[in-house]
């Protein structure tokens, strides 16, 4: 129960009363952090509209994009073209869901952002756990605008937590060895 000074509280439990002081800190994000977090939201909006142009818009002209399968796309245009093909065929009608889990500024004009996301496949209402991913994004400020300089997407596949999970890792590595494209 708050006492006259709103920073002091008193809690009574049975016969005992405890008084304590609470420091209130405003929970706010800087304008830069809001802008950096917005980049991830813009990517999801583009994906959910099936618009590769919107999806790629938050990236710099020379951005590096590493897809979950290790494919490296270089530059906004390549990111857009590759995603348009996905949105027209393999990922048509899918929705991307996710959240930013952290933003850290390593310089006044450079931020590291981590996020977790997943894909809701067409006709489904929930994300597919096998598509759960963690992303690392590097954002840079260009005068007053923040853009994504680098993006790395990795599927969440912890190894060694269970016998079956480790077995799946070993099996898929073995299958990749047998079936990978030859140069």
Residue 24 C-beta-side C-alpha neighbours within 13 Å: 7
Residue 30 C-beta-side C-alpha neighbours within 13 Å: 9
CATH of the domain spanning 31-175: 3.10.450.50
Cα 70–Cα 183–Cα 72 angle in degrees, nearest 5: 20
Please state, in angstroms and rounded to a whole number, the distance separating the CA atoms of residues 52 and 79: 8
Residue 80 C-beta-side C-alpha neighbours within 13 Å: 13
- CB-based burial of residue 35 (10 Å sphere; 0-12 exposed, 13-18 middle, 19+ buried)? middle
Please state, in angstroms and rounded to a whole number, the distance separating the CA atoms of residues 38 and 41: 5
Find out whether 63 and 138 touch, Cβ atoms under 8 Å: no
Q: Is the dihedral of CA 38, 75, 45, 151 positive or negative?
A: negative
Ordered DSSP codes for 14-44: TTEEEEEE---------HHHHHHHHHHHHHH
Residue that has been written with the tokens 């260009």 in this structure: 142
Give this prediction's pTM: 0.76
Please state, in angstroms and rounded to a whole number, the distance separating the CA atoms of residues 164 and 177: 20
Give the DSSP H/E element, type plus range, for residue 171. helix 163-179
Q: What is the pLDDT of residues 110-147, one digit of tens each?
A: 999 999 999 999 999 999 888 899 999 999 999 999 99
**Beta pairing class for 95-107 and 59-66:** unpaired
Residue that has been written with the tokens 């065929």 in this structure: 89
Please state, in angstroms and rounded to a whole number, the distance separating the CA atoms of residues 75 and 61: 5
Q: What is the pLDDT of residues 43-90, one digit of tens each?
A: 999 999 999 999 999 999 999 999 998 999 999 999 999 999 999 999
Tell me the average pLDDT of the chain. Answer: 85
Q: What is the pLDDT of residues 6-26, one digit of tens each?
A: 444 444 444 444 444 433 333
Does residue 91 have a pLDDT over 50? Answer: yes
């Amino acid at each position: 129960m708050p006492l006259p000074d709103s920073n002091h509280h008193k809690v009574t439990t049975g016969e005992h009363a405890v008084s304590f002081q609470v420091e209130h800190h405003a929970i706010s994000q800087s304008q830069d952090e809001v802008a950096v977090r917005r980049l991830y939201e813009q990517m999801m909006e583009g994906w959910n509209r099936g618009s590769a142009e919107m999806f790629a818009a938050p990236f710099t002209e020379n951005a590096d994009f590493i897809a979950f399968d290790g494919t490296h796309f270089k530059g906004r245009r390549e990111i857009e073209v590759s995603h348009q093909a996905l949105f027209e065929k393999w990922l048509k009608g899918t929705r991307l869901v996710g959240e930013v889990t952290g933003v850290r500024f390593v310089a006044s004009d450079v931020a590291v952002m981590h996020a977790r996301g997943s894909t809701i496949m067409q006709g489904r209402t929930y994300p597919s756990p096998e598509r759960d991913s963690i992303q690392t994004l590097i954002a840079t400020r260009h005068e007053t605008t923040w853009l994504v300089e680098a993006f790395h997407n990795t599927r969440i596949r912890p190894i060694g937590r269970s016998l079956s999970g480790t077995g799946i890792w070993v099996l898929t590595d073995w299958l990749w060895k047998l079936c990978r494209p030859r140069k």
